[in-house]
Structure 1
Amino acid sequence: MLIIGLIVVVAALVFATAKLRVHPFLALLIAAFAMALIGGIAPREAISVINDGFGSTLGYIGIVIALGTIIGVILDRTGAAVVMAEAIIRTLSDRFPTLTVSIIGYIVSIPVFCDSGYVILNSLKNALAKTAGISVVAMSVALATGLFATHNFVPPTPGPIAAASNIGIADALGLVILVGLFVSAVAAAVGWLWASRYAHANDEELLEPDPISEATGQEVEREEIKLEHRPTTLGAFMPILAPIVLISIGSVALLATRDTEAGIFANALIFLGTPVVALAIGVIFALLLIKGAGIKDRFHQMTVDAILLAAPIILITGAGGAFGNVLRETPIGDQLGDLLSGLGLGLLVPFLIAAALKSAQGSSTVALVTASSMIAPMLASLGLDSTMGMVLAVMAVGAGAMTVSHANDSFFWVVTQFSRMKVSTAYKVFTTATLLQGISAMITIYILGLIFV
């Protein structure tokens, strides 16, 4: 009954946002409350669960979105985004811009959460799309799928680390990373190929209007950048590079001190690598790009415009977190696990359990942690109790945790709202991409299982 209820609620959510044009924020809150009632949660408790899910999601990503949007607006208005795009094209050529952003996403998401990475790289992606004359939709999907690939397979991202620990392979984390890099490369390549189908799509049909222009009724005025005020290449990259480097170093420090007490130096690195702190430092570097007269007034206006851009993204992302939290409070995960665990399908079992959990509650990290915990006692019966078998079990859980990203996933709304994609477009181009990524990754893992297990 609960699984059928979930299918009906998700279908209604898709129909309401894609066809009836109900704002995703309202549609997600209604879906969350409806699912709570179906799951047997009392109405008053349901409100508390929704509030907790909304708050916990924004506690992680809300300030990151706001700071990242400020950086993006400054990079756009000062011409820094164009400088970065030109530098990347000079280095890698402009023949395959979607491949370029896919590779950037693949690398960045190893130490950085995929949604934080998308926020940080959004302005660069838009500048590359404009410079190369490629659809923003294609570039958005290429970046998002590149980020999503390593997010699910490669430590030190918390999900794969937790899955490796739950399955009992944490002492062979290097092997998990090595296999994860290979499997995630396949998933990223599939995402890139899918994105390339939309390289010359008509963005006017697929994107929403510019939110600042729509809210103010005025076209956004682009400043004429004087040659002497044009940012240097290093200066243009610093607002993006600094947060990525700091988060990466912080992740390494956190991993290195996992089993010991961190010292003052390690704690300082971990603090600076916290996404909020790293993005705040990125804002300082971005501020240095504003040159000429009226710096304070121009920075104030850019901040106002950035907040205007960030507000709906933050609300929608929080509502997606609320929906996911409601699902986590219902027994649907246990029901799906019981349904799939007795099928005796080898590596397909962890994949199917994780895919069911991911599709049901939205969070890849939760799917990785929960599914790995569920299959740990089954490893021997599944023939996966060897070292390589356990590594591939982690990979299978990761593949399932990609399948699929849709309305209950906060990353879906980060990608959709930052890219200004219509919701119907996002289901067609991004959700389908994550389905293809998960399936292709699982096929790769299955082949590896035939060879090494």
Structure 2
Amino acid sequence: MIDLLVLLLLVVGIVLVTAKYKISPFLALLGAALIGAFAFRLPVEEIIPTITTAFGATMGSIGLVILFGTMIGVILERSGGAIAMADGLIKVLGTRFPTLTMSVIGYIVSIPVFCDSGYVILNSLKKAMAERAKVSLVAMSIALMTGLYATHTMVPPTPGPLAAAANLNVVDSLGLLIGLGLVVAAVSAGAALLYANRFLKKDVELLPLAPEETEVSYEELKAAYGKLPSGLMAFLPILLPILLICLASVAKLPGAPMGEGGLFGTLVFLGTPVVALALGLIAATFLLRGKGKLAAFNEQISDAILIAAPILLITSAGAAFGGVLGKSAITGFLSDNLASLGLGIAVPFVISAALKTAQGSSTVAMVTTSAMLLPLLEPLGLASGAGPVLAVLAIGAGAMVVSHANDSYFWVVSQFSRIPTATAYRTLTPATAIQGLAGFASVWVLSLFLI
């Protein structure tokens, strides 16, 4: 019982120092690992090896994958590839159902591009479509926000799901995670879309532009990128690695559907996440145009490294915290008690949702929850079949519940959309709760068949 109290205090401490005192989550998680090691009475000679081994193993298994995924996202963002993708989707989907089109665009763009950046990039497009269709900007903002959010927390190579996959040792099952993640994210975005449509014809008074601000039209934004890449080339850096990872997963299915010879070995090698994303990065380099391509590439790679570094450190520190928990007696205590409660797949969702709501960051919620969950997979009945993959998705669903004042994404959406804060609480925050609950409901249904 004392160990349970220690665990609760550590989690509350992580939330407190990150949310209230703005301490880096990396330091908070690493500090929790060190303090927890002493509080759980680990042998002194095992404390540092436990922390460094878990930290290094996670950095080694997921580091390059997160780096390459971030690099692809930055190149797509800076080259106009994300705009080209949006243009291509509008040609296919049209503008007859503007909120649906906006949600689908966000759903796809956010697979490689961070949801915050994706919203900033697509904000002008959202406004142009709202004016053309004569619908509420609030409805369009909800549709875009939740479409981006769905895949941001569910589908690799976005760093959050990748980090959770690393902590739960399912990196080798990324193909299954991507496939199921796309389905769960679609349900999540669809539920939020239905909610967004309630506001289609409702007039909401928006905040005025500040005197020094000017709004950039979608056409002006496109012109700023010069000649945009083709839609096919824009989609290739995302579709190529996803296709290779999924083919490798199919090749490794029981019964060896691709045989066991050279084709099998080639598909497994190319579908290794590091290799698949490296090839996606190579494809992304063809989006760079004009003079100074090499300088632009080097600058964007440097920026991607700066973006990825905190995520890598937070993920590895979370793994160190999980390593300490795995060595402690708390796992036995929780195993004996959680198994009898029959909560199963609900546990990762509830923990992640509580952390997300308390401290604001979806990535921190996913990293911390997955670090805590690894030693609990067996007693929760999630260690077999697709259980660990569904646990990642349940964590992702929880990491959307709910976005409010302590979440930077809440402010990106509300400020760029000029939605008053009070209105944002009444519209944007419930939307993230709805999509998180819908996502978990779909994960629960899948668990009935796959575990």
Indicate the TM-score class for this superposition, using the shorter chain for normalisation. 0.5 to 0.7
User: How many angstroms apart in 1 are the aligned matches of 2:442 and 2:340?
Assistant: 23
2:67/2:308 contact within 8 Å kept: yes
> Given the superposition, is the C-alpha separation of residues 417 and 38 from structure 1 closer, same or farther in structure 2, using an over 3 Å criterion?
farther
The residue number in structure 1 matching 2:298 is 300
Alignment of 1:372-411 (within 5 A): 372=378, 375=381, 398=390, 402=394
1:100 correspondence with 2:128: no
The residue number in structure 1 matching 2:248 is 250
TM-score normalised to structure 2 length: 0.63
Aligned-pair CA distance for 1:402: 1.8
> Given the superposition, is the C-alpha separation of residues 288 and 323 from structure 1 closer, same or farther in structure 2, using an over 3 Å criterion?
same
Q: Deviations over 1:214-253 (max 9, x none)?
A: xxxxxxxx994333xx211111111111111111111211
Q: Deviations over 1:179-227 (max 9, x none)?
A: 9998886566557678999999x9xxxxxxxxxxxxxxxxxxx994333
Aligned-pair CA distance for 1:272: 0.6
User: How many angstroms apart in 2 are the aligned matches of 1:194 and 1:56?
Assistant: 42
- Residue 147 of structure 1 aligns with an amino acid whose one-letter code is V
User: How many angstroms apart in 2 are the aligned matches of 1:198 and 1:43?
Assistant: 59
The residue number in structure 2 matching 1:147 is 155
Matched residue SS, 1:147: coil
Matched residue SS, 1:316: helix
Q: Deviations over 1:281-302 (max 9, x none)?
A: 1111111121211222222222
User: How many angstroms apart in 2 are the aligned matches of 1:57 and 1:283?
Assistant: 22
Aligned-pair CA distance for 1:27: 1.1
1:120/1:240 contact within 8 Å kept: no
User: How many angstroms apart in 2 are the aligned matches of 1:48 and 1:313?
Assistant: 22
2:125 to 125, 131, 146: 131
Unaligned runs of 5+ in 1: 106-116, 149-156, 163-173, 203-221, 378-389
1:278 to 276, 279, 297: 276
The residue number in structure 1 matching 2:226 is 226
User: How many angstroms apart in 2 are the aligned matches of 1:234 and 1:178?
Assistant: 21
1:336/1:353 contact within 8 Å kept: no
> Given the superposition, is the C-alpha separation of residues 365 and 142 from structure 1 closer, same or farther in structure 2, using an over 3 Å criterion?
same
Aligned-pair CA distance for 1:273: 0.8
The residue number in structure 2 matching 1:340 is 338
TM-score normalised to structure 1 length: 0.63
User: How many angstroms apart in 1 are the aligned matches of 2:199 and 2:43?
Assistant: 45
User: How many angstroms apart in 1 are the aligned matches of 2:24 and 2:337?
Assistant: 34
1:367/1:401 contact within 8 Å kept: no
2:65/2:273 contact within 8 Å kept: yes
> Given the superposition, is the C-alpha separation of residues 233 and 266 from structure 1 closer, same or farther in structure 2, using an over 3 Å criterion?
same
User: How many angstroms apart in 1 are the aligned matches of 2:430 and 2:62?
Assistant: 24
Alignment of 1:59-208 (within 5 A): 59-92=60-93, 93=95, 94-96=98-100, 99-100=103-104, 104=108, 118-119=111-112, 127-129=121-123, 131-133=125-127, 134=141, 138-147=146-155, 189=190
> Given the superposition, is the C-alpha separation of residues 45 and 435 from structure 1 closer, same or farther in structure 2, using an over 3 Å criterion?
farther
The residue number in structure 2 matching 1:371 is 377
The residue number in structure 2 matching 1:38 is 39
Comparing 231-240 and 348-357, the one that deviates more: 348-357
1:321 to 291, 310, 319: 319
User: How many angstroms apart in 2 are the aligned matches of 1:420 and 1:279?
Assistant: 31
User: How many angstroms apart in 1 are the aligned matches of 2:26 and 2:198?
Assistant: 30
User: How many angstroms apart in 1 are the aligned matches of 2:80 and 2:320?
Assistant: 37
Unaligned runs of 5+ in 2: 128-140, 157-164, 171-175, 207-221, 356-366, 414-423
> Given the superposition, is the C-alpha separation of residues 100 and 184 from structure 1 closer, same or farther in structure 2, using an over 3 Å criterion?
closer
User: How many angstroms apart in 2 are the aligned matches of 1:248 and 1:54?
Assistant: 28
Number of residues paired by the alignment? Answer: 369
- Residue 100 of structure 2 aligns with an amino acid whose one-letter code is F
User: How many angstroms apart in 1 are the aligned matches of 2:371 and 2:120?
Assistant: 28
Q: Deviations over 1:320-357 (max 9, x none)?
A: 222222222223232112113335xxxx4434666689
Aligned-pair CA distance for 1:52: 1.7
2:344/2:382 contact within 8 Å kept: no
Question: In percent, how many aligned pairs have the same letter?
Answer: 33
